[in-house]
Amino acid sequence: MNGSRRLSSQEIADVLRERIRGGDLRAGDRLPTQAELAEEFGVERGTVRQALRALQEDGLLTNVSKGSPPRIAEPATPRAEPQPTMVALGPRLAEAFAAPHVRVDVVCHTSETLMLALSEPLRLIHEGRIHPESIDFRVLMPSRDIALAFPVLVEDEEDDPVHQRWLQMRNAQARVLQHNLHAVRSTHRVDVRIAFRALPFTPPMKLYLLNGEEALLGYYMLTRREEEYESRTLQMYDALGSQSLLFSFLNRTGHRDAVFVEESQKWFDALWETITTDMTLS
């Protein structure tokens, strides 16, 4: 591998991925030492460490430590069957927050479930069990100025208390989400960025993109229900997002779901750039 141009860490990682995919390196095999890899590729050990870190983040290596060479990981077991959002999201966020640089992109109707699920990774940060360097959240939710597809009153009224109730919930939950993330910035010196933008439509599904490695997708299922609000009983058609089943798609080398995750990320990025209206929380 030696030559006039030194390989980058990404190129070295790609070579090792091909060896794993081609069967030259099998599950349980030990990699050569960092010194041996550095000599083979004609690079510094720091470049090798970056390549190994990328393979570890892809789930291809285990036992990555300074003491011994890592081993090739067993093939990832299939994800469990879809679970309700309230059950599935917290553990997936905790897993995503173990990365040095956390990026979470969200499309949702309100941020209630996200706000509650975030308590798990934040607890791990406060306990010192995970140490992200940066956290970047981008959240898309419906604009206050559109006629929502849901929730809506069963019978139309000139004054729409259902919309007002939804707006109060959306704003209050987003403020708590923002506050909790900013608290991590001040107490643990984590570089935190969170931004909200206003969708010009009601999303029919919720989408969570975690570090570009996993997409969690859940469809809202409408139901007729009643809710007390300001001394009134509101009859409405609504969706209980916390009960939506989340389907997991993984972006792993050779994984059949990788294209879906990559295309979902491209779709979100394009939508975020198209929508220039920041969401007001008042």
Q: pLDDT of 84-136, one tens digit each? A: 888 889 999 999 999 999 999 999 999 999 999 999 999 999 999 999 999 99
Identify which has the larger pLDDT, 169 or 18: 169
Reply yes or no on whether the pLDDT at 80 is more than 60.
no
Distance CA 60, CA 19 (A): 11
Task: List 207's β-bridge partners, or say none.
Answer: 107, 217
> 75 falls in which pLDDT band (50, 70, 90)?
low
Distance CA 152, CA 237 (A): 5
Of 141-155, 179-193, 254-268, the poorest mean pLDDT is in 254-268
Asked whether the beta carbons of 220 and 142 are under 8 A apart, the reply is: no
> 83 falls in which pLDDT band (50, 70, 90)?
confident
Of 59-68, 130-139, 184-193, the poorest mean pLDDT is in 59-68
Q: What is the mean predicted confidence (pLDDT) over 240-245?
A: 83
The CA–CA distances, whole Å, from 233 to 59, 76, 229 equal 50, 49, 6
Distance CA 92, CA 242 (A): 15
User: Percentage of residues in the chain with pLDDT exceeding 70?
Assistant: 94
Q: What is the mean predicted confidence (pLDDT) over 227-245?
A: 88
Reply yes or no on whether the pLDDT at 172 is more than 80.
yes
Distance CA 272, CA 277 (A): 10
Beta strands 191-199; 134-142: pairing state? parallel
Collapsing DSSP to helix, strand or coil, 282 comes out as: coil
Contacts of 259 (CB under 8 A, 6+ apart): none
Q: What is the mean predicted confidence (pLDDT) over 262-274?
A: 96
What would the two tokens of residue 116 be?
Answer: 């509650």
pLDDT given at position 217: 95
Arithmetic mean of pLDDT over the chain: 88
CATH of domain 9-72: 1.10.10.10
86-278: CATH architecture:
2-Layer Sandwich (3.30)
pLDDT given at position 25: 86
Q: What is the mean predicted confidence (pLDDT) over 166-190?
A: 94
User: Percentage of residues in the chain with pLDDT exceeding 90?
Assistant: 57
Distance CA 209, CA 170 (A): 20
pLDDT given at position 60: 84
Q: How many helices (H) does the chain have, and how many strands (E)?
A: 8, 12
Q: What is the mean predicted confidence (pLDDT) over 13-26?
A: 85
Asked whether the beta carbons of 73 and 60 are under 8 A apart, the reply is: yes
Reply yes or no on whether the pLDDT at 4 is more than 70.
no
Distance CA 129, CA 273 (A): 35
Reply yes or no on whether the pLDDT at 147 is more than 60.
yes
Residue 70: is the preceding peptide bond cis (ω within 30°)? no
Phi-psi label, residue 231: left if phi above 0, alpha if psi -120 to 50, beta otherwise: left
For the chain, domain boundaries: 9-72, 86-278
Collapsing DSSP to helix, strand or coil, 231 comes out as: coil
> 255 falls in which pLDDT band (50, 70, 90)?
low
Please count the other Cβ atoms lying within 10 Å of the Cβ belonging to residue 193.
Answer: 13
Identify which has the larger pLDDT, 101 or 252: 101
pLDDT given at position 240: 81
pLDDT given at position 165: 93
The model carries a pTM of: 0.71
pLDDT given at position 73: 82
DSSP state of 199: E
Collapsing DSSP to helix, strand or coil, 106 comes out as: strand
Domains 9-72 and 86-278 alike in fold: no
> 30 falls in which pLDDT band (50, 70, 90)?
confident
